Amino acid sequence: MTNSEVLVQQLIIGLSNGMIIALIALGYTMVYGIVELINFSHGDLFMLGTFLALTVVGALGLGEPLDGQVITWGVIPLLIIVPVFCAAVNWTADRLAYRPLRNAPRLAPLVSAIGVSFVYMNIGLFWGGLPMEVFNMGTAPAAPKDFTALVSYDNLLGDSNITLTAKEVLVFAVTTPLLMALTVMVKYTRLGRAMRAVAQEPTAARLVGIHVDSVIGVAFILGGALAGFASVIYALYNNTIYFQMGFRVGMDAFTAAVLGGIGSLPGAVLGGILIGVIRAFSDQYIATEWTNVVVFAVLILALFFRPSGLLGSTAAEKV
């Protein structure tokens, strides 16, 4: 491959992974933008979504060889079941663990989120031990799991040295409409205006008749659903899952949210794409073992010049 072909290939990989990171980062930034809670359990919720996706694949008996029917009937149920599951789990966590601490000091819900994260992680470890063929009959719960290749690896560009498969197309075909729909919902719908009102001043929003707890609950539902979509796309794209992956992927998503400006939806998308591209280029041109260093060096440098993030608000913090 020529240098330009390598550059284009890494750009495709970076943008694909960046869009997945952006979906997860939106879950962080939506919750923080409304209740100023850094939901550290969000990455492990994403992990549970990948385990449910693999469970559904096993229950439906999906497997190779690939054909159009397997792709259609395999991906569509996953894109329905997993987001609903993650949305329900996220709403339940808010109802049981976060809502009772809404008026507590900020450290209390933060510690609660860390606790929920450990609960999710241990559920994932238990889940990996299920006696199903897709989990290797539960013989090694902590080992990485191979996710069935439901999407073809064939190069859509034919004999070109640049590889573009149906997996990359699927990433953009699912994530782009979701990001656009979320943007339209927040900006132009009644629910979106209520969410922005609660984010700006919960007390005033309550005085004008907005049910604040319900709006916050919807934010958790939407954030969970986005994590669910990201779970399916990530599993189909990377084909490997494991019970500790939530920390690694969640850290990338949180970094993206902070880089773009936590609380800013466009910032989360921009941050996710940047993190994905930086990781791809670092893996190719520097070394994989230095990628995390490069990512956080870029984050520190960006926050040095723009403490609120690239698209973050510079408004004074409420006290």
pLDDT tens digits for range 53-84: 999 998 888 765 455 555 667 788 999 999 99
Q: Which of 24, 18, 88 is nearest to 227 (CA)?
A: 24
Average pLDDT over residues 84-90: 97
Greater model confidence, 313 or 138 = 138
Average pLDDT over residues 16-37: 90
Poorest-pLDDT segment among 44-48, 112-116, 200-204:
200-204
Local confidence band at 318 (pLDDT 50, 70, 90 cut-offs) = very low
Q: Please report the pLDDT score of residue 67 as a whole number.
A: 55
pLDDT at residue 310 greater than cutoff 80? yes
Poorest-pLDDT segment among 71-75, 193-197, 200-204, 215-219:
71-75
8 A C-beta contact, residue 240 and residue 146: yes
pTM: 0.92
Distance CA 92, CA 220 (A): 9
C-alpha distances out from residue 88 to 51, 98, 226, 247, Å: 15, 14, 12, 21
Local confidence band at 319 (pLDDT 50, 70, 90 cut-offs) = very low
Please state, for a pLDDT cut of 70, what percent of the chain lies above it. Answer: 95
Domains in the chain: boundaries: 3-130+166-305
Average pLDDT over residues 213-242: 94
Condensed to tens digits (0 to 9), the pLDDT of residues 289-300 reads: 999 999 999 999
Local confidence band at 224 (pLDDT 50, 70, 90 cut-offs) = very high
8 A C-beta contact, residue 257 and residue 28: yes
Greater model confidence, 63 or 250 = 250
**CATH fold for the domain made of 3-130+166-305:** ABC transporter involved in vitamin B12 uptake, BtuC (1.10.3470)
8 A C-beta contact, residue 125 and residue 51: no
C-alpha distances out from residue 41 to 38, 115, 139, 244, 262, Å: 9, 8, 27, 12, 16
Structure token pair of residue 38: 């850094």
Average pLDDT over residues 128-155: 89
Question: How confident is the prediction for the chain on average, in pLDDT?
Answer: 89
Poorest-pLDDT segment among 43-57, 94-108, 116-130, 215-229:
94-108
Among 31-35, 107-111, 118-122, which range has the highest average pLDDT? 118-122
The type of residue at 26 is: L
